Chain A
Amino acid sequence: MSAPATPRSAASRPLVRRRAAAMLRALWQVNVVEELQYRGNFVASVLGTLFWMAMALLTVALFFRHTTRLGGWDYWEVVVLLGVFNALTGIIEAVLRPGLGRLAGEVRSGALDLVLTRPVDAQLYISFRRLDIWRFVDVVLGLALAGYALVRLDRLPSAFDVVAFLVTLGAAALVVYAMWVALMSLAFWFVSVENLSVLFDAVYEAARYPVSAYPGALRFLFVYLIPVAWTTTIPASALTGRLGPATAVGAVAVAAAALAATRLLWRAALRQYTSAGG
């Protein structure tokens, strides 16, 4: 039974992958053309980001009026972390909220039927179907802030630091993605909850500061139960030279585990789905 199936699936898998890539490319092209009509949104988006970055910097400045270190980090080190926070926020707002963010409403209304009947992987399609391209500017502004803070620290990251930063930032993005899928999957069990993404916003607030700045109980919560500690603290540590190789490997392992768990959860959630009539 399994002998003939193996070569067929091995042959079709690259095909499926190529088809998925072509689909996403086509979706994004339409998407970019649409968004370019609304260039005023670009200005509003940049102004909004600059305002919230200023508020975040003032908050950190306020803490540093009363202390010289926050969890062992000095002011500009925390600003590096804020830059990473903003870059990740950009990815969330550009990719996750426009796509996955709509899932809860679609589960409730039954509009998800239209997605499930498509001949593509539903998780892939729902996750990346739509981009809010202007919010990618947040990624640029965030990285620029982190870069400026490094200049103020008088610290030039080595090539190894930069590689470690890029790898751990990718791992952080995967952890954030996994958290979104996990939270949005709850919509399949609790149907009348359209503001599930607010749950993410609530816990992601914690990623504004290094995890070492929290008292023991909160730190335990953010490292082991809600993995926000793995999102900003670790890539920022890579840039400021605080990251040991063991933690870097650990971050990648956490991201891989989170992604695998998310896939299982997604499958279990889809089995719950009975459309609007169920």
Chain B
Amino acid sequence: MSGARPAGGSAWRERYAALIRAAWLVDLQYRAAIAIWLLWGVMEPLIALGIWWSIASGGDVEGFSRSDFARYFFGVTLVNQLTLAWDAYYIDRWIREGEMNYRLARPINPVHESIADNLAYKARSATLILAVWLVAAAVWPAVRMPVDPGRWALAALAVVLAAGIRFLNGYVTGLLGFWTTRATALMELQFGLSLFLSGRIAPLTLLPPAVQTVAGVLWFPYVLAFPVDVLTGAVTTPAAYVRGFAGQVVWLVAWWAAYRLVWSRGLRHYGAVGG
């Protein structure tokens, strides 16, 4: 790329504006499909909430009342929707079906297209889920979050970091398609484990202590459970905030490093096989 004109901040703004606009317009054709994915995303927490609601009929479950469960799983629907990333499946297809080739011929790293796709998709689904969420909160007082703008700002930050980790995690998993034909199976595997380790099926404190320990040293809690806990007010002490945000930053950097490594190695491998 030695001949390319140096890209300043405004050039990048233009590129991203074009990429996001294109992604937004593509999504526009699939509004109904996006609504279906949203419904799919809501059903799992709703079912988990239904079960915990029944279990908590006899009294609190280790300190969790029915309305605690309701708030937690409503937080899960929101954070999950805002951090959802499908990139592993796209990248895997790009590599297997050769769509990666013309993307490599462009003078811009394909990762920027994926980031723009995610921003456009999330902007669209965020407005949808927020509308659903506000209606639910209006009719069902149990799920209302305490009004506290400071905490909401922190929750927003935690969601952005979580979305970054989840994006890079999916992207790197997809790039493993350079070496294996079962990259999507690896994504499924992580998806299955995240049921417990991310807190999709239950708040982490209800898991067996050994599982909590395992979760604590992986990235899973930082992409869902931590932002949800910030949102619902379950994180209270400054030390807990620091631990959570530090964990998010560490895993964001780790997955970014993994991306750099897998991308450069993968490209070399890809050229060697395809050439």
Contact = CB atoms under 8 A, between A and B. Distances in A.
B51 A213 contact: yes
A213 to B, nearest CB: 5
B152 interface: no
**Chain A binding site: helix, strand, loop or mixed by DSSP?**
helix
Given A198-B36, A206-B43, A58 B196 contact: yes
Interface stretch (A10-18, A64-72, A230-238, A268-276): A64-72
Contact of A190 (B32, B53, B58): B32
Contacts of B53: 215
A195 B37 contact: yes
Nearest to A218: B50
B195 A63 contact: no
Contacts, number: 83
B54 A71 contact: yes
Contact of A205 (B29, B44, B61): B44
A70 B56 CA distance: 11
Contacts of B189: 51
A224 B206 CA distance: 33
B43 A203 contact: yes
Contact of A44 (B39, B185, B192): B185
Interface in A197-256: 198-199, 201-203, 205-206, 208-209, 213-215, 218
B132 interface: no
A213 B50 contact: yes
Given A62-B207, A199-B36, A203-B43, A215 B54 contact: yes
Given A63-B55, A193-B30, A198-B37, 20 more contacts: A44-B185, A48-B188, A51-B189, A55-B195, A59-B196, A65-B206, A65-B208, A66-B62, A192-B30, A193-B32, A193-B33, A195-B33, A198-B36, A199-B39, A199-B40, A202-B39, A202-B43, A214-B54, A215-B54, A218-B47
Top 4 nearest A-B pairs by Cβ distance?
A: A202-B43, A202-B40, A67-B55, A214-B50
Interface of B: 29-30, 32-33, 36-37, 39-40, 42-44, 46-47, 50-55, 58, 61-62, 182, 185, 188-189, 192, 195-196, 201-202, 206-208
